Chains A and B, each alone.
Chain A
């Protein structure tokens, strides 16, 4: 299990045990973390699972695909550390990961 902290835009945090193999998005949705709706269920088609990855974890969460990059280009409140959480696979290496949710998903 990897412990992931999801911080809502209003500061409310959720510490969740996520099974390796799931995505960061699935860890949130299956535990009803508000603000990650994931309309498309992880198909990288909607940008409703946008998160900011804590700087310290950026290198461990992997690279963005061209598809993710272009979806994020048009999402709201995008920052350099923005990711679509459906595109980040959880592994033991992500134990301790911290992600924050944007205002648009508040």
Chain B
């Protein structure tokens, strides 16, 4: 903890302005109130909606299993009761760090004692011919999801450009709704950037067995259309994958322009410390936006996950409220597709060996990524004990007996003991 005098942390009456009303920004407001902060909080979001959960947009919500209310982090009455002043549909255009003010596109100037930047990331666009056709969609916001949901259904053909998690989840949802999905991936395997080869092969086979078509090493050249609406994805070899709707899921880029224009250090995200603080002691940044330290791996990285958003929201709120920092967490991720629950703990940095435990063919297994005899990461499919114990092993940084780890007859409790 910093001394309270430095940057005036521990001021429960301070004026806090949060730019970005996603999972990170909304949670920061909630944690501030949980931690006893009573000063004014202004929450600015460029979407017209109260903070909501994004992960279900490609899963339960897309399949019609969750409604808009259930996605909201808090009901609207909460913001009123908690004295959180909302500027929904508000766009912050500049920060004056000297005067400690944020200016909105509307012209409103809002003063802060502490500023929390939570502007998130946006879907990377493909600068290809036809990318502006109706029916070429991204999946990041509730509005995106609404558009996609309207285009899916029995007999509808979805073409997904990009075999990442969003694309795979959307494909599974499209199939569940009675449609068909084709996934076009530039690399020789799906999930190439974010999962090991065992997992890539497993997921591709699982989707394939349920009717999803894959085109790997795909060179997408553009989108064909008729009357302004997409009709297919055109590949460099001239072939066309016909579709009723195309989803582009090729990663996200941080919305860091506001911070950069204000002179804050940005390197694929706003650079922050372990308290989610930028080099300006009065400015924090949290969530997908940040390039943050990962002490376990001794490096800085940008994470895109809800647990990361919540961890940094707690850090910023704790620093402002003068509470001890919450314990550092191991990054983790999850995905639901069909009846599969994928849980990933850690990141496979510097790993030199992979060990599979369990039965891949039975869809119940885990891949452990080791650096020597230290667990760096675990990818677990329908294997919660491997995930939970693996997470503990990663945090502990003590050697693991690899022979025991590979032996499914020895419980993960005993392996991790």
State the A residues within 8 Å of B (CB): 22, 26, 29-32, 34, 37, 39-41, 43-47, 67, 70-71, 73-75
Please, how many angstroms separate the alpha-carbon atoms of A73 and B310 in the complex? 24
The segment from B73-81, B129-137, B287-295 that touches chain A is B73-81
B290 to chain A, nearest CB (A): 17
Q: Is B30 an interface residue (CB 8 A)?
A: yes
Please, how many angstroms separate the alpha-carbon atoms of A47 and B329 in the complex? 14
Complex contact B310–A37 (CB within 8 A): yes
Complex contact B82–A32 (CB within 8 A): yes
Complex contact A32–B30 (CB within 8 A): yes
Complex contact B310–A71 (CB within 8 A): no
Summed over the interface, the residue pairs from A and B with CB atoms below 8 Å come to a total of 61
Complex contact B389–A39 (CB within 8 A): no
Taking a contact as CB atoms closer than 8 A, the residue among A31, A37, A41, A47 that contacts B388 in the complex is: A47
A39-B307, A67-B384 are contacts. A73–B341 as well, Cβ < 8 Å? no
Taking a contact as CB atoms closer than 8 A, the residue among B310, B341, B412 that contacts A39 in the complex is: B310
Interface centre among A29, A34, A37, A71 (most CB of B within 10 A): A37
Number of B residues, CB within 8 Å of A: 28
Complex contact A41–B306 (CB within 8 A): yes
Closest residue of B by beta carbon distance from A21: B70
A32-B30, A74-B389 are contacts. A43–B70 as well, Cβ < 8 Å? no
Complex contact B310–A43 (CB within 8 A): no
Please, how many angstroms separate the alpha-carbon atoms of A47 and B384 in the complex? 10
Q: Is B392 an interface residue (CB 8 A)?
A: yes
**23 A-B pairs, CB-CB below 8 angstroms?**
A22-B70, A30-B73, A30-B74, A30-B75, A31-B74, A32-B74, A32-B82, A34-B34, A39-B310, A39-B332, A41-B53, A41-B56, A43-B55, A43-B336, A43-B341, A45-B343, A46-B307, A46-B332, A70-B384, A71-B388, A73-B388, A74-B388, A75-B388
Complex contact A39–B306 (CB within 8 A): yes
Closest residue of A by beta carbon distance from B342: A45
Closest residue of B by beta carbon distance from A76: B392
B12 to chain A, nearest CB (A): 15
Closest 9 CB pairs of A and B: A74-B388, A45-B334, A70-B384, A34-B34, A39-B307, A41-B53, A71-B384, A32-B30, A70-B385
Please, how many angstroms separate the alpha-carbon atoms of A74 and B383 in the complex? 12
Please, how many angstroms separate the alpha-carbon atoms of A71 and B391 in the complex? 12
A30-B74, A43-B341 are contacts. A74–B392 as well, Cβ < 8 Å? yes
Residues of A within 8 A of B392 (CB): 74
Please, how many angstroms separate the alpha-carbon atoms of A47 and B387 in the complex? 11
A51 to chain B, nearest CB (A): 17
Please, how many angstroms separate the alpha-carbon atoms of A46 and B310 in the complex? 13
B332 to chain A, nearest CB (A): 7
Q: Is B156 an interface residue (CB 8 A)?
A: no
A20 to chain B, nearest CB (A): 13
Q: Is B33 an interface residue (CB 8 A)?
A: yes
Please, how many angstroms separate the alpha-carbon atoms of A34 and B30 in the complex? 9
Closest residue of A by beta carbon distance from B332: A46
Complex contact B413–A32 (CB within 8 A): no
A30-B78, A47-B388 are contacts. A40–B334 as well, Cβ < 8 Å? yes
Instruction: Please report which residues of chain B, range 11-60, place their CB below 8 angstroms from some CB of chain A when the two chains form the complex.
Output: 30, 33-34, 53, 55-56
Please, how many angstroms separate the alpha-carbon atoms of A30 and B77 in the complex? 10
Residues of B within 8 A of A31 (CB): 74, 78
A21 to chain B, nearest CB (A): 9
A19 to chain B, nearest CB (A): 9
Complex contact B341–A45 (CB within 8 A): yes
Residues of A within 8 A of B55 (CB): 40-41, 43
B129 to chain A, nearest CB (A): 38
Please, how many angstroms separate the alpha-carbon atoms of A37 and B74 in the complex? 13
Instruction: Please report which residues of chain B, range 273-321, place their CB below 8 angstroms from some CB of chain A when the two chains form the complex.
Output: 306-307, 310
Complex contact B306–A40 (CB within 8 A): yes
Taking a contact as CB atoms closer than 8 A, the residue among A40, A43, A73 that contacts B413 in the complex is: A73
Residues of A within 8 A of B72 (CB): 30
Closest residue of B by beta carbon distance from A104: B327
Please, how many angstroms separate the alpha-carbon atoms of A99 and B150 in the complex? 40
Please, how many angstroms separate the alpha-carbon atoms of A67 and B34 in the complex? 30
Residues of A within 8 A of B56 (CB): 41
